[in-house]
Amino acid sequence: MPARRLTARRKARRTQKLFVFDEPYRLQYGVIAGVDEVGCGPLAGPVVAAAVILSHPCKLPRLNDSKLLSSEEREHLYPIIESSAVAVGVGIVEADEIDRINIRQAGFAAMRIALSRLAVHPNHVLIDGFRLPSGPPSQTHIVGGDALSAHIAAASVMAKVTRDRLMLALHDQYPQYGFHEHKGYCTRAHLEALKKFGPCPIHRLSYAPVNNSRRHVSKKHDDATPEAILR
């Protein structure tokens, strides 16, 4: 069997396992939603969460945890999920709010916003990672859920694509940082840009590399006094 066909079959089996995982929850509760967030690690930009209620039956070829998909695969899946899902909600919490309440609370807030924006109320919610405080009373938190549950995987794709698109748009406003390439994550190029330019309004000032860059740029500016230039 050609390698390409074998790979396609393996991906199809992997996707099927995601739906098999969700089936007991669907049978018990009826309408279920999956929730996931992305963007906890970056030095800049928002944290984004998505909540998804999939139709039944549902065909989403090659669905998987968004981290295991290429950007092209995620972009391909996004409109399919958007058009075939019963409901999709998205929550966004910006950098200044992340600095104010911390990243974990911001992730929880984004999830609650995403759930509140679902057009259909789910009977049960599958959440990636930790239990959602002040969330729906009927919920199950699943560590590594984006690689186990079809609903959570679909939410991870919607959240990831939404955030990546936001960072591409923000690159147009702040092109010196290279957001179109690293999406705000801590790469060498991003750190070099921070050292050179300091943080911009969408940087998370509570994150150590960003805070350190503020001191570095401030010192560099202090050294550039007329007295320093004449020395």
| Residues 114-159: tens digit of each pLDDT | 999 999 999 999 999 999 999 999 999 999 999 999 999 999 999 9
- What is the rounded CA–CA span in Å between residue 165 and residue 119? 23
- Can you give the pLDDT at residue 216? 61
CB atoms within 10 A of CB 81: 22
Helix axes 208-223, 188-197, angle to 10 degrees: 40
Q: Which residue carries 């705000």 as its tokens?
A: 184
CA distances to 36, 80, 223 from 47, rounded to whole Å, are 11, 23, 36
Give just the sign of the alpha carbon dihedral 68, 74, 80, 86.
positive
Provide mean pLDDT across the span 4-29.
Answer: 87
Tens-place pLDDT, residues 175-203: 999 999 999 999 999 999 999 999 999 99
Residue matched to tokens 């279920």: 32
State if pTM tops 0.85. yes
How is residue 146 annotated by DSSP? G
Instruction: State the residue for tokens 């591409």.
Output: 168
**Beta strands 47-53 and 87-93: pairing type?**
antiparallel
The fourth-level CATH superfamily of domain 3-174 is: Ribonuclease H-like superfamily/Ribonuclease H (3.30.420.10)
Q: What are phi and psi of 67, to 5 degrees?
A: -70, -20
**Euclidean distance between CA atoms 191 and 205, whole angstroms:** 14
Percent above pLDDT 90 for the chain: 84
| pLDDT tens readout for residues 47-106 | 999 999 999 999 898 899 999 999 999 999 999 999 999 999 999 999 999 999 999 999
Q: Are 45 and 183 in contact (CB under 8 A)?
A: yes
Beta bridge partners of residue 47, listed in sequence order: 93
Structure tokens at 144: 């590594």
Which of 109, 95, 99, 100 has the alpha carbon at shortest distance from 45? Answer: 95
The amino acid present at 21, given as its one-letter code, is: F
